[in-house]
Amino acid sequence: MQQPQNILSSLVDCPSIEWTSFDNLSVAARSILGNLLTSNESGNQFLILHNIPKHAIDRLFGEERILQGVEYRFSFEGSTGLLKIIPSYTHNFITRKLSGEIEWMVRSMGVPADDYNFGMRSAHYANTDISTGKEPDECFFPRSRRPVHYEFSGWPTLVIEAGVNKSLPRLREAARWWFDSSSGDVRIVLLVGVDKMREVIIEKWQFDGQPYCAQVVVINPIYITGPLLLHFQPLMDRPPVRNETDLVLDTQALRNCGL
């Protein structure tokens, strides 16, 4: 397994600041949010932080509203941090609809509710190097990896990373980070690119010696490519039994995940 991907890979024309305070960070984050909103959510959504201290890393992982209402996802490597600014509720809506469709399909097979958990923004640190960590937009834990005393002790089998369509190159590097950092324990990464013009692109990434894109699904008002296939055993970390089978998100399920 390779070393975890550098968190700054594939970032082009991304603004950066030196760490000084949360107030200054909030101002910079709000500036990026403003630019996203004025560009119809099609511009840059990342901010690089240099020389960020450990106490700030801990708070960015642990306190959701620390940037004065600007929603974000955080990752870091050493003393360098990276914020992904969430431009609107649309991104959360699509991510939650997608995870909701997955949960509905798992439940409809008769899998008990206590056999899995969704982890949302839970922070994860690389197996080989705790000086790098990352938050997903959503993640899925089967029973074999579920939280102990409300703490996640293992890696999710599935991760969802969302962003504006322009961010897809960076999200692909994020997929590589999940595979490399977990030493292959993360089995599937779904990348969700959102276009405010009502198009959603879902890339399904898997790992077989190297990360690779196994499937691309497009959802827009005119057409939907699919279905999206999620194999049961990698997702649930066990073979299927009885009525359990691979998950197939058909046209209607994908339409439910669109705008």
CA proximity to 194, closest of 95, 114, 117, 124: 95
d(CA 221, CA 36): 23
The mean pLDDT values, 10 residues at a time, for the chain of 259 residues are 59 88 97 92 92 94 87 93 92 93 95 88 71 92 78 84 94 94 94 88 94 96 93 96 95 88
Sheet with 188-195: strands ordered across: 116-118, 138-142, 158-164, 188-195, 199-207, 211-219
Query: What pLDDT sits at residue 135?
Result: 92
pLDDT at 226: 84
Domain boundaries, the chain: 16-85, 89-257
- What pLDDT does 1 receive? 47
Read off the amino acid at residue 65. R
- pLDDT score recorded for residue 179: 95
The model's pTM: 0.93
CATH superfamily entry for domain 89-257 = tt1808, chain A (3.90.1570.10)
> Is 111 in a helix, a strand, or coil?
coil
Contact 147, 139 (CB under 8 A): no
The confidence score (pLDDT) of residue 198 equals: 82
